[in-house]
A = this chain, B = another copy of it.
Amino acid sequence: MLKGHLDAVLLATIGDEALHGYAIIEAIRARSGGHFDLPEGTIYPALHRLELAGLLASRWVQPDGGRKRRVYALTDSGRRSLVERRAGWRSFASGIDLVLGART
């Protein structure tokens, strides 16, 4: 469970790469050092929601081998949102750190 930080994780993972859903799951697993292994039922609806909100744009791609993929990229709005959400996470995490006792 990503506890309200799913959108930030998705936006940060896509970054400048333009990934498709399945690859996003793998990228999150890899980048998080195995901490997060999100089910498809989590990410697909989230991608749709972020696209509807104008933070992501998708297009269908037909690779040479393999089946069609829906590929997502950040919009300008998405990039701005990522900056905000990163700051929001830092603020949130520092608040929790203060209460739980700093990372000593």
Interface of A toward B, CB cutoff 8 Å: 1-5, 8-9, 12-13, 28, 31-33, 35-36, 86, 89-101, 103
Contact = CB atoms under 8 A, between A and B. Distances in A.
Contacts of A100: 8-9, 12, 86, 89
Given A3-B3, A4-B3, A96 B99 contact: no
A53 B5 CA distance: 27
Q: Which of A8, A92, A101 has the most CB of B within 10 A?
A: A92
Contacts of A93: 93, 96-97
Nearest to A28: B99
Contacts of A101: 12, 86
